[in-house]
Structure 1
Amino acid sequence: MSSVGKDRARTPGSVWASGGIMFAAVLLLVRGVVGILEGVVAIAKDDVYARFGSYVYAFNLTAWGWIHLVLGVLLLVTGLGLLAGPAPWARLTALVLASVSVIADFFFLPYQPWWALVGIALGIFVIWALTHDEAEVVAR
């Protein structure tokens, strides 16, 4: 019986990535819940968020509410899928949704600048965790 790939020592990067996937799943869950709450607030009451300055990509806050609500539900479901054992569909969906979330947070900068920046950073970490050292993580 060959042990070529089985006895290979885990590198610090692969441990980071596998722990990162679990953390990314939890971040997706949290981002999903927060997105749902942001969406409900923006849909129910347009005067909760204030826009800072003029912005080329300005949307109606009700539209932003629906975007955050739908994206939040999708992130929540995908985070649950990742926690259930990183299924290939969940990993790919999480990558796509994290990317869309980063873009949406960029467009949402005038309404909540600090939270949008935090969301962009968290989205980038989720993308990194799901793509870093994928060969070793999938081989497990």
Structure 2
Amino acid sequence: MSSPTYPPPADPVSGPPRGTQRFEDDSGAAWWGFAAIMLLIGGILNFIYGWAAIDSANFYVNNAQYVISDLNTWGWVVLVIGAIQVTGAIGLFAGNQYGRWIGILAAGANAIAQLLAIPGYPFLSLALFGVDILILYGLVAHGHPRRGGVI
């Protein structure tokens, strides 16, 4: 006499019986990790770019017309956005909702800022705008990771 197997074998057509197997989708955690790393990198770069703009470094295009005042003001805007991005990345690494909302705010603000900065550094602005859109997708579409934190 053979004992029944538990869990019952899967039917090739309908799949495993209900309630016998649980699968976790880790794509949300992967997107959170991507968003956290890219926010951290973008925040550090924005901090450096802001510092360079405040110092009137020769990194930027000469005689560019900025939407927001002058290069010095633009540097402070980018520096503040960079600090918010780093804060959001730290929150995402911790795995909390605070980091998610700060990350959404920071990526959205940086996306707008990069579009406004196209006269200063056109190709870099468009590339960073694309990265910000991917960050927004990862944080908005994939919600909260299943486990404690990203790392």
What's the counterpart of residue 52 of structure 2?
Answer: 41
Corresponding residue to 2:134 among 115, 120, 125: 125
Give the structure-2-normalised TM-score: 0.75
Q: Is the 8 A contact 2:46 2:78 kept in 1?
A: yes
Structure 1 distance, partners of 2:65, 2:19, is: 56
2:116 pairs with 1:102 = no
Structure 1 distance, partners of 2:54, 2:65, is: 21
2:89 pairs with 1:75 = no
Closer, same or farther in 2 for the Cα pair 1:94/1:46, shift >3 Å? same
> What SS does the corresponding residue of 2:27 show, helix, strand or coil?
helix
Cα deviation, residue 77, structure 1: 1.5
Structure 2 distance, partners of 1:96, 1:5, is: 39
Structure 1 distance, partners of 2:121, 2:79, is: 16
Closer, same or farther in 2 for the Cα pair 1:5/1:119, shift >3 Å? farther
* Structure 1 gap ranges (5+): none
Give the structure-1-normalised TM-score: 0.81
The structure carrying a bigger helix percent of its residues is 1
**Aligned partner of 1:36: which letter?**
F
Structure 2 distance, partners of 1:103, 1:20, is: 22
What's the counterpart of residue 71 of structure 2?
Answer: 61
Paired residues, number: 130
Q: Is the 8 A contact 2:28 2:145 kept in 1?
A: no
Identity %: 25
* Structure 2 gap ranges (5+): 1-17
Deviation sequence 1:32-53 (CA, Å, 0-9, x none): 1000000010001254311687
Deviation sequence 1:32-87 (CA, Å, 0-9, x none): 100000001000125431168757x2530101100111111111111011111x21
Closer, same or farther in 2 for the Cα pair 1:112/1:121, shift >3 Å? same
Closer, same or farther in 2 for the Cα pair 1:138/1:17, shift >3 Å? closer
